[in-house]
Amino acid sequence: MPTYKPLNDHILIKPSNGQEVSKAGIILPDTVDKEKPEKGEVVAMGPGKLLENGQRAPMSVKVGDKVIFKKYSPDELPGEKELLMIREEDVLAVVVE
């Protein structure tokens, strides 16, 4: 398995495969409400976006954070089924438990 080192403001995510359960205890299939954001864990990230002044903007997430991101924003990596690459701007929230 290759190792990936994200560049700039890219984030490597391991998506959560948790099944959703309704309030009545019914397991909902993946096809229900495909417009919902995705969830996952940050496994690696780049150093931050390069600004016009030559400095880097600090990243707002860190490795190990559970995040919610836009459904159609991630890019799949060649040969990888368990990792996705997204930009920091596509992260909607960090899950605080």
Q: What is the 3-state secondary structure (H, E, C) of the chain?
A: CCCCCCCCCEEEEEECCCCEECCCCCEECCCCCCCCCEEEEEEEECCCCECCCCCECCCCCCCCCEEEECCCCCEECCCCCCCEEEEHHHEEEECCC
Q: For residue 12, give its domain range.
A: 1-16+36-97
| Res. 30: pLDDT tops 70 | no
For residue 60, what is the domain's CATH number? 2.30.33.40
The pTM of the full predicted model, rounded to 2 decimals, is 0.76
Domain-located, residue 73: yes
Domain-located, residue 26: no
Domain-located, residue 23: no
Domain-located, residue 56: yes
- How many structural domains comprise the chain? 1
Domain-located, residue 77: yes
Residues 55-89 have pLDDT tens digits of: 999 999 999 999 999 888 788 887 777 889 999 99
Domain-located, residue 89: yes
Domain-located, residue 42: yes
Confidence of residue 91 (pLDDT cuts 50, 70, 90): very high
